[in-house]
Chains A and B, each alone.
Chain A
């Protein structure tokens, strides 16, 4: 019996990333552009994807990620949106194996855009690749303007940031300058679109950006 030391240098996310690549290839084969929607519970993720789909004249698909329930999926299906549900039963984020199972259950008849709504959480979803093309970060003025400083990774990794509930600006102490300063330290390129899920304003511009980015 003897002891030996072996250098390993293996990233813990390697297996997840490998499956994420497979998901991405599968979607690319069907010409599906995947958007990973991240944001805190109640920030307006489902409302945003509904509004974006209204302004996008291309086929849309949705995978809903929640700890429990299929409330959002039912809500989308009632509007004739093709939606499927993942329940994580306790896990705080979606990972590539969960999304892998969900995409193989979906029928992608036409090229289009797939919104994957992550579990409501501003922390963990940013850490896991799920095979997406871009990450959309959903924040709202009621979350508070300090969020880029408190949850830097989500802002650093975002490709597009949507600031929701701007109709509530007169009623909340949201320091937009402080908020934008924090974002620009972490992320030089992601556009920030100001929207209101209540009035519908601002989504059209975000949809135009998204369509162009998706190459449609």
Chain B
């Protein structure tokens, strides 16, 4: 349910690119951070249903996941958060959130375009 409206947006964005280039979508490359709040598998599940009857029908959806990273306030290094902890594995300092892992965007699309 939660991923359905997001999948509609993805199909809209890709279809718009196809319309501008007078083509059809064959492949979509999507970036989904693990802290974006959206599950790649779930988007994948809705994709074929949402794409039906649009310029994305029959296209393949490739999803690139991004692991969230914290940044240590003390040594500045980036690291992946352990459960129930914000501790830096390098120096023991405290980690603060970064935008890495919150991505949710259409990176590129491959189009099949009629020869002029």
Contacts and interface: CB of A to CB of B under 8 A. Distances in A.
B110 interface: yes
Nearest to A13: B104
Given A91-B1, A92-B1, A124-B2, A5 B37 contact: no
Interface stretch (A23-31, A146-154, A206-214): A146-154
Contacts of A186: 96-97
A12 B109 CA distance: 14
Interface of B is mostly: mixed
B104 A12 contact: yes
B108 A95 contact: no
B13 to A, nearest CB: 5
Nearest to B83: A149
Nearest to A97: B5
B56 interface: no
A28 B110 CA distance: 42
A9 interface: yes
Nearest to B9: A12
B105 interface: yes
Interface of A is mostly: mixed
A2 B107 contact: no
Interface in B37-96: 37-38, 83-84, 86, 94-96
Interface centre among A8, A13, A123, A149 (most CB of B within 10 A): A8
A17 to B, nearest CB: 11
Contacts of B35: 152-153
Contact of B111 (A4, A11, A152, A185): A4
Top 6 nearest A-B pairs (CB, nearest first) are: A185-B86, A127-B37, A8-B106, A12-B104, A11-B105, A12-B9
Interface of B: 1-2, 5-6, 9-10, 12-14, 17, 21, 23, 26, 35-38, 83-84, 86, 94-97, 102, 104-115
